[in-house]
Structure 1
Amino acid sequence: MKKDIHIPEVTDVEMAIVLEHNEAHNVDEWIVYLINKKETPLEMVVIVSQGFSDTKTTSIFRKKIDILSGKSSAKIELIQPDLFALDNRFQVTFFENNTLYDKTFLFKKNTIKEGSLRNIKDLNKRGVVCK
């Protein structure tokens, strides 16, 4: 039975955590983005995120996006720097051309820091990307 189930591979979809300056509050904030590098839109996108370690687990956060256009991105959530000491998992499920896709992005603990920031061309911002 399991051998008959085809699970398509997700390509050209990325998660990024970016350090941005919030002009209104004059503070730097870490923001999570979902990046769609495809020409086609992603539909009914659901993102489930959680931080975890051997001894700690955060609450589960869910976000839904009806349509994420091709060659675009969406702000998903603000993430507190305290969570960078944990592994941060983002499970992304979506439809593309009536096919269901699912991918888990994992930012390992202590990998998100100012010294790791790189230019993210698709966002025109500096951050850490998980493919």
Structure 2
Amino acid sequence: MKKDIDFQKVTGVKIAIAKEETSNGPEWAVYLINLNLIELKTVMITSKGYGELQGESKKTSTLRHMIDELGPQAVAKVEPIDPALFALTNEFWVSYYILDQIFDKKFIFTSGSFDPGFIQLIPEIGLEGVLHS
């Protein structure tokens, strides 16, 4: 059971939602950033959105992504994200191994996370967006 697993504190791993300018206009995506000096193995990312829009309860599909290995100080593009979902709470649950130890963390972006004052340059990916650590 999950309560029996000794999860260590997550450090050096961040999630960013950032905007890239393309020939088709701005495209937003979710990125996993590993700032550690060691690779992450068997990375599992689960994402979902939920909240209220125009007085109605809304939920997105749950998406799951697997990355076999994310090298030291590396970045992985996880999934595109529609800016219409910024009005919801967006949750990303990340689990991975370093050596034989499992790590687990939930990253939550609320609708207020995308206010213009929170948009910043994210040096690790060279794009503007919102960073959560």
TM-score by length of structure 2 reads 0.89
Q: In the alignment, residue 120 of structure 2 is paired with which amino acid?
A: R
Unaligned 5+ runs, structure 2: none
Contact 1:36 1:68 in 2 (8 A): yes
The answer to whether structure 1 residue 30 and structure 2 residue 28 are counterparts is yes
Partner of residue 111, structure 1? 113
Mean Cα displacement is larger for which, 4-13 or 81-90? 4-13
From 98, 101, 108, give the equivalent of 1:99. Answer: 101
Give the % identical residues: 39
How far did residue 5 of structure 1 move? 4.8
Partner of residue 9, structure 1? 9
Poorly superposed stretches of 4+, deviation over 6 Å: none
Mean Cα displacement is larger for which, 114-123 or 67-76? 114-123
- The alignment yields a C-alpha RMSD, in angstroms, of 1.9
Q: In the alignment, residue 28 of structure 1 is paired with which amino acid?
A: P
Partner of residue 39, structure 2? 41
Separation (CA, whole Å) in 1 of partners of 2:107 and 2:10: 11
How far did residue 125 of structure 1 move? 1.6
Separation (CA, whole Å) in 1 of partners of 2:125 and 2:88: 25
Contact 1:86 1:110 in 2 (8 A): no
Partner of residue 92, structure 2? 90
How far did residue 113 of structure 1 move? 4.4
Separation (CA, whole Å) in 2 of partners of 1:6 and 1:87: 28
CA change 1:3–1:128 in 2 (3 A) is: closer
Q: In the alignment, residue 84 of structure 1 is paired with which amino acid?
A: F
How far did residue 6 of structure 1 move? 2.5
Structure 1 residue matching 2:112: 3-state secondary structure: coil
Partner of residue 21, structure 1? 21
CA change 1:90–1:127 in 2 (3 A) is: same
How far did residue 122 of structure 1 move? 1.1
- Residue by residue, what CA displacement relative to the aligned partner does 1:15-44 show, whole Å, maximum 9, x if unpaired? 000010123xx3111111000000000000
Unaligned 5+ runs, structure 1: none
Separation (CA, whole Å) in 1 of partners of 2:77 and 2:19: 12
Q: In the alignment, residue 98 of structure 2 is paired with which amino acid?
A: E
How far did residue 81 of structure 1 move? 0.8
